[in-house]
Homo-oligomer: A and B are copies of this chain.
């Protein structure tokens, strides 16, 4: 048996290749939309991918299952649990098989067993993995059911898509799924769909996997005997999910376009063409690092640097319904396009070399970075206004006295609420998110902007006053 983990840093998403070397067969659990890496790995191990299994209808990225079915002729294995709202559509033309609790999928001599574990969503499945020649499973692919130290949220659809009351019901199902699941042997490995937290650092994605026995001891979700208390703790204080989640859910239910049938964006060399597009309302995204963008960029463009947070902020800030142009460094072009497509942004129609655009265009502008120290006096005496773009939760914990608050993700929709009477100092935790915010503001015509380098973190060190808790 072969088991290989894949992890997409941009999406914090895990997927798994399972193969049987004796027969040359392989399947992928929860494939991402770019399927080349799985194919490459399979090839290198003498395997052919003939199946794609989905734990549930994903809300946070475009699944690659249909891509595998279309291009490789792989069988698409999807859930037949949950009610009618939670059925996959438009799969009749593809090789596929619907899965119910208790079913089995054979991958050569390897056996994958199906468990119905609703809670995160009603149709959610987990998959046990059993090598040939034994009756004992080695582990379980839990999708967004059980994570290391946590479980999946039952309320995403409530918040992102306005489907009301699903959170409470999902919470109850989650409790029952956990009870049932806890009866499995403790030595089972747990292979989750996302990275998860840690008692030490609280940062996500830090430990790739766990075991059921360890989770039963350490994961808070197994500490409640009472269902209602569990549901309360589960649904309290969850931050706003990205708006694009609702879009993703629809896309994954009914099927995104096959990537290789998408048109590649056309190259632009003439800055006039770019400027015209901006005048006509096209969104233009510059993916250079923020230092270079700050120093010089084409008026009307906004900036999300290509790094681990790129897909997240693109999901928040890009309008899925309008054409998108991208300005990139050549070396990043493929990664940017792949990251956008991984969350279903398929409307990238043109691109231009970012340096060329900035050098040749006559319409450029810039913004300055200031340290907390440099900005404190103009903030104190009211010359400038602070705009805090961190999350609601961060802002409430503590913020600079007098700072206005709009969450970065919601900035495009709340442009009208931005204080416009004075120069703005945009601020987040470290200066990274506020650099994005500064670019969004400028692209929306609010030009007298400074970005606070170091953000609230450095403010506390350098200034240590003017803070409201």
List A residues at the B interface (Cβ < 8 Å): 1-5, 20-22, 35-36, 39, 43, 48, 71-73, 108-110, 131-134, 136, 138-139, 185-189, 198-203, 206-214, 216-218, 260-261, 263-264, 266-270, 272, 289, 291-292, 294-296, 331, 356, 359-360, 366, 368-369, 453
Task: List the B side residues contacting A109 at CB < 8 Å.
Answer: 199-200
Q: Nearest residue in B to A369 (C-beta to C-beta)? A: B295
A208 and B3 in contact (CB under 8 A), knowing A43-B356, A218-B136? yes
Task: List the B side residues contacting A21 at CB < 8 Å.
Answer: 198, 200-203, 206
A450 to chain B, nearest CB (A): 11
Q: Nearest residue in B to A296 (C-beta to C-beta)? A: B291
Residue in contact with A185 in the complex, picked from B72, B73, B203, B213, CB distance below 8 Å: B213
Q: Nearest residue in B to A39 (C-beta to C-beta)? A: B269
Flag if A269 contacts B72 (CB, 8 Å).
yes
Instruction: Report the bound CA distance from A212 to B186 in whole Å.
Output: 10
Flag if B213 contacts A187 (CB, 8 Å).
yes
A270 and B198 in contact (CB under 8 A), knowing A1-B207, A211-B188? no
Instruction: Report the bound CA distance from A369 to B370 in whole Å.
Output: 11
Task: List the B side residues contacting A210 at CB < 8 Å.
Answer: 138, 189
Flag if B269 contacts A133 (CB, 8 Å).
no
A65 to chain B, nearest CB (A): 15
**What are 16 A-B residue pairs whose CB atoms fall within 8 Å in the complex?**
A21-B200, A21-B206, A35-B269, A36-B269, A71-B269, A73-B270, A132-B199, A134-B217, A187-B213, A189-B189, A189-B211, A189-B214, A213-B213, A291-B291, A291-B296, A294-B295
Task: List the B side residues contacting A206 at CB < 8 Å.
Answer: 1-3, 21
